[in-house]
Every structure is written in structure tokens, then in C-alpha cells.
Homo-oligomer: A and B are copies of this chain.
Amino acid sequence: MTSLMDTSKAGSGRVVISVDAMGGDHGPWTVVAGIARSARKNPELDFILHGPEPELTRLVARRRALRGRCTIRHAEGVVAMTDKPSQVMRHGRDTSMWSALESVREGEATVAVSCGNTGALMALSMIRLRKLPGVNRPAIAILWPSRNKQGFNVMLDVGADIRADAQDLLQYALMGASYARNGLALPCPRIGLLNVGTEEHKGRAELKEAHDLIEASARIGQYSFVGFVEGGDIPGDRCDVIVTDGFTGNVALKTGEGTASLIGDFLRQAFAFSPLSRFASLLAYTSLQRLKKRIDPRRVNGGVFLGLNGTVVKSHGSADATGVSAAVKLAYELARTGFGDRLAARVASAAELAQDAPAARAVQNDG
């Protein structure tokens, strides 16, 4: 281990993020460029960076912003995008991903960030960080551009697990509310349960059961429940948090991304059509950049793993430096607000209250 971090700065409001330098499509150069960008913006941010030491030392030394703020932890192995989660769980001890989670497990860092293989990252997170008491299935939550005031909705689960029963969906509602409160600064988030219609008689049996459970826990969870919502409400303003199973959420996420990308291509083609349209696109440049910025997937880069002892942010594998920096920013926000502890307290008191039900008790914490 090479410590490039000035230890005299420890304590005193500093936030340490554990970063997996490997496993992304563009390699460690991009990750180091991303964290350097974040370091410039947030002076109280420090890093523990995991990967092959000689290469990382070289890359970090070139970044002035990282001087004295980045500890390198050597890890020889890299989890490839094609590796099966089960194999990584058995043979992945020497990987940078494993090492990055270890820093959170040991309490050296509050949040881990990785651009690597999602399935492997979730599997390792489950065995190394373990599930919070009261949580059956952890979930991955993402931010989705929307018509809401805050500009984003939270959706979960987008692919931690392909199944979810009514109890799991209730846990997702509690965790999603907590995330929206801390990540989007919404005191009382509006929760919607994804279905194929808004009428209460529609949909699968487990959704009707989940509807009633989530409705009954609104006071405990400090959210308001708007009932069933539809796919069109994911980018809409009927609610702030969309609760669904990981299969449906994953399909919705990828459909939305694919649709946005298709429209972007059509827009480029429309403006490349003729000399006049190319001239128009020059004049429209600022307007188009403004649009691009609003729907740029790099700005909302980072799926958050919820329901574990520790927070993990999964960045897109294809993230560039801007994308990595957005994921680090999200990790920083969650670490700074003490999100992990608040979520744990929230889930624990909900589980406790569910056991004590119907005795009504006041919930004190605001996680």
C-alpha cells in the first residue's frame, strides 16, 4: 500500500470514498481523471483507490488535485464484464472490486464506487457487506430525468434481483423514500407502485398485496403513497419514487435509455440532412447543448445498492471522466448526509414496528 494521503487531515469533516479503478470499459486512466475532477470540486473529499499499484501510482502522480488525498491499495486481479458472479465470489479475493468493498467493510471509507460488472459487484456486496437486518432482497436505485421540480425521480429495483414479493416491494418503498429524502432533499417523497393501470383492481396479485402494505406504512416511512403508477409516470411528475421488481425496472431503464439514444440519433440525422439544416444546427448549437445537458446520461450516472451494511455506487461501465465524477459526487452526497446509517435505522424501526403492529409508535429518526 502506498499512502499518498496526508493523514493529518483525517477526521474534521473529511469524507473518504473507496474507488475501484479497474473493470470499466475505458480503464484506470478514465477513473483517475474522474476522481481528480471531483477532488477539485470538493476539497473535503479523499480517496482510497484499488488496482495495480505501479500503474495507479503513475496515473495519480500526474494529477495535482489528488496530491495528498489518494491512498492506493494494491490489487492484482480485475473482474471482467464477462465473469460470472458465482466465479468472482469464489475466486475474486485478489481483485480491485473485492478490495474496494473491503475498505467499506472495514470502515475506512463510507461509500464504494465501481464501474465494473454489475452482477459481480452485487454478489460480492451481498457476501462481504451483508444485508441489513430486516432486508430480504437488496435493490439498485437509479435517478431518472423527469418533469419533477427536482428534475429526477428515483426508481428501484432496476436489476439487483429478478423477483420481488409484496414484502420486498414494501422494503423498496422504505429504502427509496430514504434515498429520495437524503439524495434529493425531499422531506416527504411521493411513492408510486409500478403497474399496468392505475385502477386498484388491475395487475398481479403480489402488486395488490404490496399496494396495501405500502399504503399502511406511509406514516412510519414518512412518505405519501400515490398508489399505482404506469410506465409513463417514470419520467413524469405524479410521484418521486417508483417502486417495482428488478426485472420490470431493468427493462424499463434500458427501454428509456434506448429510446433517448434513438431520438438523439434521429435528431443528429435531421440536422445533417441538407446544407441548410447543417447551417441551422450551427445556430441552434447552444439550444441543442442545453437539451443534451438535460438528458445526458452521464449527469445521472450511478446506481445505488440499497439494503446493505454500507453503500455501493455502481457507475456505468462505459462512463468517461465526467460520468465517473458524477458517480463520485453521488457517493459523496450520500456519505456526507450519513445516508447509510439513516437508512439502516429506518429499515430497522420499520421491521420492529411491523413486529409490534398494530401498536402505534412514534418514529424519531429522519433517515
Residues of A at the B interface (CB closer than 8 Å) are 84, 119, 145-147, 159, 162-163, 194, 196-197, 201, 203-204, 230-236, 244, 246-248, 250-263, 265-267, 270-271, 273, 276-277, 279-281, 283-288, 290-291, 294-295
Contact between A254 and B266, CB atoms less than 8 A apart: no
Give the shortest distance, in Å, between A116 (CB) and chain B (any CB): 15
Contact between A260 and B258, CB atoms less than 8 A apart: no
Contact between A231 and B247, CB atoms less than 8 A apart: no
Closest to A272 in B: B287
Closest to A252 in B: B255
Contact between A287 and B266, CB atoms less than 8 A apart: no
Question: Given A196-B159, A276-B286, does the pair A251, B252 have CB atoms closer than 8 Å?
Answer: yes
Contact between A291 and B262, CB atoms less than 8 A apart: no
Contact between A194 and B251, CB atoms less than 8 A apart: yes
Contact between A253 and B279, CB atoms less than 8 A apart: no
Task: Kindly state the separation between the CA atoms of A260 and B232 in the bound complex, as whole angstroms.
Answer: 10
Contact between A204 and B162, CB atoms less than 8 A apart: yes
Question: Given A284-B277, A284-B280, does the pair A257, B270 have CB atoms closer than 8 Å?
Answer: no
Contact between B145 and A262, CB atoms less than 8 A apart: yes
How many copies of this chain? 2
Closest to A204 in B: B162
Contact between B271 and A196, CB atoms less than 8 A apart: no
Closest to A146 in B: B262
Question: Given A204-B162, A265-B147, does the pair A273, B260 have CB atoms closer than 8 Å?
Answer: no
Give the shortest distance, in Å, between A323 (CB) and chain B (any CB): 17
Task: Kindly state the separation between the CA atoms of A267 and B287 in the bound complex, as whole angstroms.
Answer: 8
Residues of B within 8 A of A262 (CB): 145-147, 235-236
Question: Given A162-B196, A196-B159, does the pair A247, B290 have CB atoms closer than 8 Å?
Answer: no
Residues of B within 8 A of A256 (CB): 231, 255-256, 258-259
Contact between A255 and B258, CB atoms less than 8 A apart: no
Question: Given A235-B262, A270-B290, does the pair A247, B204 have CB atoms closer than 8 Å?
Answer: yes
Give the shortest distance, in Å, between A200 (CB) and chain B (any CB): 12
Closest 6 CB pairs of A and B: A231-B254, A232-B258, A231-B255, A280-B284, A280-B283, A270-B291
Give the shortest distance, in Å, between A295 (CB) and chain B (any CB): 6
Contact between A196 and B287, CB atoms less than 8 A apart: no
Can you list 22 A-B contacts (CB < 8 A)?
A: A159-B196, A163-B204, A196-B251, A204-B247, A230-B251, A231-B250, A231-B254, A231-B255, A231-B256, A231-B257, A232-B255, A235-B259, A235-B262, A247-B248, A255-B256, A256-B258, A270-B287, A270-B290, A270-B291, A271-B287, A279-B283, A280-B284
